[in-house]
Amino acid sequence: MNNRVLMLNADFTPMMICSIERAIVLIFLGKSELVHEEKGKYLRTVDKTFPMPLVIRLIKYIHIPYKTVSLTRLNVFKRDSFTCQYCDRKDHLTLDHVVPKSKGGRSTWDNLVTACSRCNSQKGDRTPTEAKMRLNNMPFRPSYASFLLNFSGFVCEEWLPYLKIKKRA
């Protein structure tokens, strides 16, 4: 059973992924409405049956100033699937500046990658080209909607239209 619910703002923009318990409480209190339910799944009480929510929408719009993904060590690791971007190892992970700070590189989404300590030491204070190392994936700034999917660890096909992501083949 799915225990996560996509919460949309009143204008149908994705806000967060919440627990099913929180979603039901918000619906019960009249603060949100059911947009999409899980077919064939119900929450039963002594005398009532409620559809199991997959997507809810807040009744009142909540102003959230420009929603972006925070640049943190953990979020860079998540974007890179906790994998070294040079050798694909999954242990002893660190952050690496593609263009080193000493050469003007900044701590931005486009310049930080996950690297194992061995590759980070081997690369040293050089660019990947200078160190003759190849990046498996170029660093990028993740969109909020795609990060919601990756962060949740759960992909629900019914969420995709609300996240404006195409269905997988």
pLDDT, one tens digit per residue, over 131-147 is: 999 999 999 998 877 77
Domains, the chain, ordered by start: 4-66+144-163 (no CATH), 73-123 (1.10.30.50)
Q: What is the pLDDT of residue 168?
A: 46
pLDDT digits (tens, 9 = 90+) for 13-22: 888 888 999 9
DSSP, collapsed to helix, strand or coil, labels residue 113 as strand
Q: What is the pLDDT of residue 169?
A: 43
**Whole-model pTM over 0.75:** no
- Mean pLDDT, consecutive 10-residue stretches, the chain (169 aa), reads 83 88 94 93 87 95 82 92 96 97 95 97 95 95 77 72 62
Are residues 54 and 111 in contact, defined by beta-carbon separation less than 8 angstroms?
no
Q: What is the pLDDT of residue 4?
A: 86
Rounded to whole angstroms, the Cα distance separating 144 from 9 reads 14
Q: What is the pLDDT of residue 102?
A: 94
Pick from 81, 104, 98: nearest CA to 153 = 81
Rounded to whole angstroms, the Cα distance separating 155 from 151 reads 10
Rounded to whole angstroms, the Cα distance separating 41 from 102 reads 57
